[in-house]
Amino acid sequence: MKLLKLVPDNTNINFLKWRVPFYVVSIFLIIASWGLVATKGLNLGVDFVGGQMIRVTFVGQPEAPVASMRDEIQELGYGEPIIQRFGAPNEASIRMKLPEGSEEQPDLANTMANRITKAIQAAHPEARIDGVDSVSGKVSGELFQTGLLSLALAMLGISIYIWVRFEWQFGVGALFALIHDVSLTMGLFALTQMEFDLNIVAAILTIIGYSLNDTIVIYDRIRENMKKYRRMPLPELLNLSVNETLARTVMTSLTLLIALIPLLFLGPSSLFGLTAAITMGIFVGTYSSTYMAAPLLIWFGVKSDSFVPSDEGPNQAERIARGEG
């Protein structure tokens, strides 16, 4: 049986031919994304703006009926709840944003909690309300700042790792690619006003990991080819390296998309933001590792023999004495 090949052998695509226009477009998109975040803002979820959490145990049932609870609560008109199982399978937590005007009228929050608990108990007589807790806006604000700080530290740590493993030019190139990916993802959420909660922070960390993995694979091949082709012009060497890793890049991205696209269209609404962020990250991460991270090495003055020890001097004499040169 003949093996299916999505990418032919020995491709010779000139990826670097359009690097300047792609850089202009990318920088424009980064600026536009942060402009959207600054002007429209992010639709922060209950994790970051505070709200109420109701804990429920369905006594006598093996699992909490998450799907039916979501429909019943949405009918009350308070927006989409975040429902998660925790502890035993029949235990669930419901998190809701506080209703508008609750800061001036605290009773609105209590009224919302009472209506939700009564609706659950009416539809599920076996449900036991274990508690209704308020999530402080101050604590949520601190959580948002901690989330952003964790993203920044992850990007910085990864760049230092690449700097140590390769050279500083590679570390800066990887950092620029990660900033590109995170910026465009944040811009998407500012543009669409999809809810930005802790799940999206986890999705962005996943995007950073995926993009970094792709970048390191290409950087590794570039370093190997630098040792093999010392006299090859760098643009030609970068094109060769990207072409040699193209089959792996395409296969990895496609297999991830095969799993994500059905979840994007048919999955539960509570996972839509997470799935959309990761799907977006696959596209921008693949693009940035090819058109951002690699071409930047040219602008940093890297040459094909920049990091290869010279053949001249005592080392060459030693190899000649050993009969290796």
Report if residue 121 sits inside a domain.
Answer: yes
Question: In the chain, which stretches have pLDDT less than 70?
Answer: 1-5, 86-87, 102-104, 106, 135-141, 304-325
Distance from C-alpha of 27 to C-alpha of 30, rounded to nearest angstrom: 5
Report if residue 154 sits inside a domain.
Answer: yes
Report if residue 8 sits inside a domain.
Answer: no
Read off the CATH number of the domain in which 67 is found.
3.30.70.3400
Distance from C-alpha of 126 to C-alpha of 128, rounded to nearest angstrom: 6
Q: What is the pLDDT of residues 125-176, one digit of tens each?
A: 888 888 887 766 555 667 777 777 887 888 788 778 878 877 888 888 888 8
Element (H, E) at 311: none
Question: How many Å is the maximal CA-CA distance in the chain?
Answer: 90
Predicted TM-score (pTM) of the model is 0.73
Mark whether 127 and 251 lie in a shared domain: no
C-beta of residue 120 within 8 angstroms of C-beta of residue 127: yes
3-state secondary structure 247-305: HHHHHHHHHHHHHHHHHHHHCCHHHHHHHHHHHHHHHHHHHHHHHHHCCHHHHCCCCCC
Distance from C-alpha of 193 to C-alpha of 191, rounded to nearest angstrom: 6
Read off the CATH number of the domain in which 247 is found.
1.20.1640.10
**What is the domain count for the chain?**
2
**DSSP string for 109-145:** HHHHHHHHHHHHHHH-TTEEEEEEEEEPHHHHHHHHH
Mark whether 192 and 63 lie in a shared domain: no
Mark whether 30 and 82 lie in a shared domain: no
b or e along 124-158 (b: 16 or more beta carbons within 10 Å of the residue's beta carbon)?
beebeeeebeebeeeebeebbeebeeebeebbeeb
Question: What pLDDT score was predicted for residue 32?
Answer: 95
Mark whether 283 and 169 lie in a shared domain: yes
Domain stops at, among 115, 135, 155: 135
Distance from C-alpha of 218 to C-alpha of 298, rounded to nearest angstrom: 15
Distance from C-alpha of 151 to C-alpha of 204, rounded to nearest angstrom: 8
Question: What pLDDT score was predicted for residue 324?
Answer: 44
Report if residue 321 sits inside a domain.
Answer: no
Report if residue 105 sits inside a domain.
Answer: yes
Report if residue 186 sits inside a domain.
Answer: yes
Mark whether 214 and 129 lie in a shared domain: no
Residue at 295: amino acid letter: P
Domain stops at, among 95, 112, 135: 135
List of residues 6+ apart from 94 with CB closer than 8 A: 53, 54, 55, 56, 69, 73, 81, 82, 83, 116
Supply the range of the domain harboring residue 36.
15-41+140-300
C-beta of residue 170 within 8 angstroms of C-beta of residue 297: yes
Report if residue 95 sits inside a domain.
Answer: yes
Mark whether 242 and 186 lie in a shared domain: yes
Domain stops at, among 83, 111, 135: 135
C-beta of residue 127 within 8 angstroms of C-beta of residue 57: yes
Mark whether 149 and 254 lie in a shared domain: yes
Question: What pLDDT score was predicted for residue 188?
Answer: 92
Mark whether 185 and 255 lie in a shared domain: yes
Helix axes 246-266, 198-228, angle to 10 degrees: 170
How far is the CA of 302 from the CAs of 77, 132, 183, 211, 298, in angstroms?
Answer: 59, 60, 27, 22, 6
